[in-house]
Amino acid sequence: MAADRRIVIENCAIATVDANDTEHASGHVVVAGNRIESVGAGRAPEGLENVARRIDASGHLVTPGLVNTHHHFYQWITRGLATDHNLFNWLVALYPTWARIDEPMVYQAAQGSLAMMARGGVTTAMDHHYVFPRGSGDLSGAIIRAAREMGVRFTLARGSMDRSEKDGGLPPDFAVETLDGALTATEATVKEHHDASFDAMTQVAVAPCSPFSVSTELLRQGAELARRLGVRLHTHGSETVEEEQFCKELFGMGPTDYFESTGWLGEDVWMAHCVHMNDSDIAAFARTKTGVAHCPSSNARLAAGIARVPDMLAAGVPVGLGVDGTASNESGELHTELRNALLINRLGAHREAALNARQALRLGTYGGAQVLGRASEIGSLEPGKLADLVLWKLDTLAHASIADPVTALVFGAAAPVTASFVNGRQIVEDNRLLHADEDAIARSTRAEAQRLARIAVQG
């Protein structure tokens, strides 16, 4: 893309989510190539050359694109199952089905997950994929291909499991990899796909699944591998009381102490959930700058509890938002998580002081960029950063009478996306995907869900 090709967006409210939470009631954003060139109040500067497009965004709020920090794309084809279970019972119910996935299923499921997020304003997606049945094909390659085709920025967290029932873990023996197999495949995935450049569209993290599905050695050696390769680390942590109990029984300590003992606290680490954290756990995360992917809907769906997000933020822990896999959050939308994060945290100890609308928007944008290690590139609208941004339509019945645009976006109904740009390239227009056929994806994901259900029944 020519570096000086410009897109001018004007007459819109803007929430930059910069360090000062700068907002403009009516302002402009100028995109040049794949970067933001200027953001400010009033009209764009006069005399700009090479303007390819000028958008009158009256009635809109422009924000940084949403950043999703925890997901499992393959679960798109196992939605609506085990709907009244807690985490451990839900996992045990679903592992046998998940162990039968193959490359076409994973590709279609990735398309479904990505499509749902992209049309709702997600510009950076991530997939924590940890089920690699023997002979199932190139699952990582299929997921990355789906993300490229959708046009979103993407982090693949290459997951793994090697602690099955015979070793005291939760997954069945046939659903796991060996320690060496997992490490070798993870290293190969990083070497093949990870791009460390400023405007990278694909990055890879090392991501053993959880304390109850992974050996201590895989955590230890996974951390060493990631640091040798210069990539980030991701896992599930402190999700439920049952996990806490599991860690105390097997390792003689709670999850956070266990992670610390295996090299898993650090500014290059982010963990999903972190619901059951005491004061010293939160202090350890703050001291080490370990990040958190807060997944409020999934935590509610699986009755896991309310994460202490206000305490984490007060302590200086980086926090982003995650939808989590769609087998525990059937909606798979991140913009509704802004509202859910705010509302659910107000049910916790801090009540009305828990989170406000600006903080919720920050979790879904800059906070997400922080935990993915990309805060200098994305997550706020500032000159020099990558042009990942969303135009939310707020002048219709659903939002027009709400007092201010950020409040409308967070407290109101899910807002329609008039346009979404990633790396300066438009991926959504008038709530429809530009580079994928939503209706075709709906049909093909349903077909793959039915195929998986048939294979799973056959056993």
Part of the chain binding Zn ion (CB under 5 A), chosen from 1-9, 221-229, 248-256, 316-324:
316-324
Type and span of the H or E element at 51: strand 51-56
Concatenate the DSSP letters of all residues of 254-299 into one string: -HHHHHHHTT--STTEEEEE--S--HHHHHHHHHHT-EEEE-HHHH
Comparison of 236 and 362: residue with beta carbon closer to Zn ion: 236
Q: How many residues bind Zn ion, per CB under 5 A?
A: 2
Contact 343, 294 (CB under 8 A): no
Q: Cβ of residue 324: shortest distance to Zn ion, in angstroms?
A: 5
Comparison of 71 and 308: residue with beta carbon closer to Zn ion: 71
Q: Cβ of residue 129: shortest distance to Zn ion, in angstroms?
A: 11
Task: Work out the burial of residue 46: count CB atoms within 10 Å of its CB; fewer than 13 is exposed, 13-18 middle, 19 or more buried.
Answer: exposed
List binders of Zn ion among 270-299 (CB under 5 A). 272
324 binds Zn ion (CB under 5 A): yes
Part of the chain binding Zn ion (CB under 5 A), chosen from 82-90, 257-265, 269-277, 370-378:
269-277
Comparison of 106 and 272: residue with beta carbon closer to Zn ion: 272
Angstrom distance (rounded) from CA 129 to CA 107: 12
List binders of Zn ion among 138-157 (CB under 5 A). none
Contact 163, 176 (CB under 8 A): yes
Comparison of 63 and 113: residue with beta carbon closer to Zn ion: 113
Angstrom distance (rounded) from CA 351 to CA 454: 46
User: In the stretch 229-268, what mask flags binding to Zn ion with x, by CB under 5 A?
Assistant: ----------------------------------------
Comparison of 131 and 142: residue with beta carbon closer to Zn ion: 131
Q: Cβ of residue 80: shortest distance to Zn ion, in angstroms?
A: 17
Both tokens of residue 129?
Answer: 């994929």
Q: Cβ of residue 94: shortest distance to Zn ion, in angstroms?
A: 12
Comparison of 162 and 388: residue with beta carbon closer to Zn ion: 162
Q: Cβ of residue 97: shortest distance to Zn ion, in angstroms?
A: 16
List C-alpha distances in Å: 107 to 114, 138, 209, 329, 362. Answer: 11, 10, 20, 19, 31
Chain length of the chain: 459
Angstrom distance (rounded) from CA 96 to CA 99: 5
Comparison of 123 and 326: residue with beta carbon closer to Zn ion: 326
User: Interior CA angle at 408 toward 18 and 53, to 5°?
Assistant: 65
Comparison of 151 and 367: residue with beta carbon closer to Zn ion: 367
Query: Residue 184's closest CA among 234, 230, 217, 225?
Result: 225
**How close are the terminal C-alpha atoms of the chain, in Å?**
50
Residues pairing with 11 in the sheet: none
Q: Cβ of residue 272: shortest distance to Zn ion, in angstroms?
A: 5
Q: Cβ of residue 219: shortest distance to Zn ion, in angstroms?
A: 16
Using DSSP, state whether 25 is helix, strand or coil.
strand
Q: Cβ of residue 363: shortest distance to Zn ion, in angstroms?
A: 17
Comparison of 177 and 324: residue with beta carbon closer to Zn ion: 324
Angstrom distance (rounded) from CA 209 to CA 78: 18
Q: Cβ of residue 331: shortest distance to Zn ion, in angstroms?
A: 15
Comparison of 239 and 268: residue with beta carbon closer to Zn ion: 239
Q: Cβ of residue 130: shortest distance to Zn ion, in angstroms?
A: 9
147-151, long-range: CB < 8 A, 24+ apart: 147/110, 147/114, 147/201, 147/202, 148/201, 148/202, 149/111, 149/435, 149/436, 150/111, 150/114, 150/115, 150/118, 150/125, 150/427, 150/433, 150/435, 150/436, 151/118, 151/422, 151/425, 151/427, 151/434, 151/435
List binders of Zn ion among 69-98 (CB under 5 A). none
List binders of Zn ion among 354-413 (CB under 5 A). none
Part of the chain binding Zn ion (CB under 5 A), chosen from 168-176, 286-294, 323-331, 428-436:
323-331
Q: Cβ of residue 340: shortest distance to Zn ion, in angstroms?
A: 16
Residue number with the shortest CB distance to Zn ion? 324
Comparison of 159 and 373: residue with beta carbon closer to Zn ion: 159
- How many beta carbons lie within 10 A of that of residue 40, not counting itself? 16
Comparison of 281 and 324: residue with beta carbon closer to Zn ion: 324
Both tokens of residue 181?
Answer: 């197999």
Q: Cβ of residue 273: shortest distance to Zn ion, in angstroms?
A: 7
Angstrom distance (rounded) from CA 46 to CA 67: 32
Angstrom distance (rounded) from CA 49 to CA 102: 50
By CB under 5 A, name the binding residues for Zn ion: 272, 324
